[in-house]
Structure 1
C-alpha cells in the first residue's frame, strides 16, 4: 500500500535534445546537453540575417503526481461512520489474549540422560 502511495505522488520530468531525427542527450534531473550546433550558430552573427532552419529541437516530458491525499472524515455519512466504528471494534476484539500463560508440558519431567550424547559424538555448538 505504501508503494502505491509513493508511486502515485511521484513527479518527474524527462528532457530530450534531438539533432535532426537523432537523440543526442536526455536527462532526468537537469537540462539535457546540446550537440553544439547552437554554439556554432551564435559564433557567426553576420549570418544571422539569413534565415536558416534550426536542426535541433528540445522536448520535455513532464508527469505530475497526485497532490491531494488528505482524507477527511467529515464527508462520510452516518452509515459509513457506523460501519467503520463497528469494524474497528470487532477487529480489535478479535485478538483477545489468554487469561494466563498455559504450558501443557509442565507436568511431565524430561527424560533421564544415560550418556552425554554430545560428548560421545563430539558435536558442540559454537
Structure 2
C-alpha cells in the first residue's frame, strides 16, 4: 500500500512539474466582433477580407480601418527549475534535513507490538471505590 501511494504521489508531482513548465500560444482571428478562426499551433487563417492597399497610387494616403483583427494569447511556463541546495543558508539546510528525516520516520512502523506495561500486574482491589464514592458513569 505504501509503495502504491508513493508511486501515485510521484506521478502527480511529475504532472505538476510538466504543467508548470508547459507554455502555449493561441492565435485568434476576428472579423468584426465574430471569431472566424483560432489555432493552437501557428497562425490563425485569415477570412480574406483584408483591405488591399495599392502601392503605386498617391491618392490613397488615408488608410481605412481594417475590419479584421488578429489576437494572440500566449502563456509562458516556468523556465528556471534547477534549484540548488548550496544556495540555501546553513540554517535553511539544517531545517530541510531535519524536516525530511522526521517526515520519513513518521511513517516507519515498529517490528513488533510493544506494550510497556506488560510485566506489571494491575493493583489488587480491596474495596470498590466507585460505589464508596458514588461516582457512576452515565
TM-score range, shorter chain: 0.5 to 0.7
TM-score (norm 1): 0.59
User: Counterparts of 2:75 and 2:22 in 1: how far apart (Å)?
Assistant: 8
**Residue 44 (structure 2) pairs with residue 29 (structure 1):** no
Which of 45, 52, 64 is 1:41 aligned to? 52
What is the CA distance between 1:7 and its match in structure 2? 1.3
Under a length normalisation based on structure 2, what TM-score does the superposition of the two structures give?
A: 0.55
* Number of positions where the alignment pairs a residue of Structure 1 with one of Structure 2: 97
Distance in 2 (CA, whole Å) between partners of 1:49 and 1:11 is 46
Structure 1 vs Structure 2 CA RMSD: 3.0
1:112 — aligned with what?
none
In structure 1, stretches of 5+ residues that fail to align are 99-126
The answer to whether 1:20 aligns with 2:29 is no
Does residue 56 of the first structure (1) align with residue 40 of the second (2)? no
The Cα of 1:4 is off from its aligned counterpart by: 1.6
User: Which 4+ stretches in 1 moved above 3 angstroms?
Assistant: 44-51, 83-90, 94-98
CA displacement at 1:15 relative to structure 2: 0.6
Residues 16-75 of structure 1: per-residue CA shift (max 9 Å, x gap)? 11111111100011110000112x726x76888433321111111111111111111112
